[in-house]
Amino acid sequence: MNVQENVPLAPLTTFKVGGPARYFVEAATNAEAAEAVQFARSKDLLLFVLGGGSNLVVSDAGWPGVVLKVAVSGIDERSENGKLLFEVGAGVEWDKFVARAVERNCAGVECLSGIPGSVGGTPVQNVGAYGQEVAETIESVQALDTKDGQIRELCTEACGFSYRTSIFNTSERGRYIILRVTYALAPGGAPRVHYADLKRYFAGREAATLAETRDAVRRIRAGKSMLITPGDEDCRSAGSFFKNPVLSAGQFADLAGRAKAKNLEIPSYPALDAQKKVSAAWLVEHSGFAKGFGFGRVGISRKHALAIVNRGEATAADVVAFKEQIQERVEDIWGIRLEPEPVLVGF
């Protein structure tokens, strides 16, 4: 295990903000991950697990403890009960795995193409986009239990998946270090073309292939600067900064009433039993933060209303201050407190 000191974290994130890690360890094996945990304990320091760096904001002070970057690699395949199971190392780049699945003509993750980050981060927030989420295909998660140092295999039910949540970022936050994830995909399955953007893209066509769907998703994401493209300022972000609020019937009625008073109609779709999921992007845009809005070093993406972007030399403090400004305005106008999607590290 190689322990480095005072390693800058900003270059390891898509936002490109934040200070250094006091100690930094990259673990390519289960044993090295366990060693890193013991190292942190021996120095009585907090441990933070870093994946692909695509969904976090690191404070300007950095991380005063140990940052562990899980770099477990490899993709193994096996057939089971009519499914093709892919056991993927947590350090594998997510989009490379999706490309592999589509090449093998396996359905289940094609709409998650182009999402930055690593495989190990996908179960944490139950990553989803364009009508799919990883909870639908995750068979199991192999993780190091920091409570007793044991390697555990957690089934889908044990992961407690819900909209953008799991036990890994709620009830058991900080307990498990994800090492491998097994996905059960459908060989020869049809692509999921349910999302409005995809329906528009394929309008007039009877069917699309998995490869065509993957290409369409990547093109749509690129059009919103949600595909990492070198030199594109709007890509210096953490992707969608706020979760789509899931409201009760009463909350939704209140929101609809506020909108009606402004001669507006809330776009929504059914979610989670009797609840309603509403568009955070709509709330942001209808609170005075249009695409391209900004001042100085931070702003809103010119192509995606939910992405806060680093326009150059921004600090983490700039990002957080802008985030809070948006939250306060949306709450004042619409009575809804938007919840950030990225992890805030070192604050």
Of 249 and 155, the structure prediction assigns the larger pLDDT to 155
- What gap in Å lies between CA 180 and CA 70, rounded to an integer? 10
Average pLDDT score over residue span 139-145: 98
Structure-token match 């991950």, residue found: 33
Instruction: Say whether pLDDT at 327 is over 70.
Output: yes
Average pLDDT score over residue span 94-105: 97
Instruction: Say whether pLDDT at 28 is over 80.
Output: yes
Token pair of 149 as six digits? 């140092």
Instruction: Say whether pLDDT at 273 is over 60.
Output: no
Average pLDDT score over residue span 12-18: 94
Q: Give pLDDT tens digits for 171-219.
A: 999 999 999 999 999 999 999 998 888 988 998 877 799 999 999 999 9
Token pair of 270 as six digits? 């059914």
Instruction: Say whether pLDDT at 156 is over 90.
Output: yes
pLDDT at residue number 103: 97
In three-state secondary structure terms, 13 is coil
Strand locations in the chain (E): 3-8, 20-27, 47-50, 56-58, 63-70, 75-80, 83-89, 106-107, 128-129, 132-133, 138-145, 150-155, 176-187, 246-247, 268-271, 275-278, 294-295, 298-300, 308-310, 343-345
pTM listed for this prediction: 0.87
Instruction: Say whether pLDDT at 268 is over 70.
Output: no
Instruction: Say whether pLDDT at 281 is over 60.
Output: yes
Three-state SS annotation for 182-251: EEEEEECCCCCCCCHHHHHHCCCCCCCCHHHHHHHHHHHHHHCCCCCCCCCHHHCECCCCECCCEECHHH
Residue 288's alpha-carbon distances to 25, 173, 241, 305, 307, in angstroms, are 43, 35, 16, 11, 15
Active site positions, annotated: 164, 240, 341
pLDDT at residue number 274: 53
Token pair of 156 as six digits? 């889908």
Neighbours of 9 (CB within 10 A): 25
Neighbours of 199 (CB within 10 A): 11
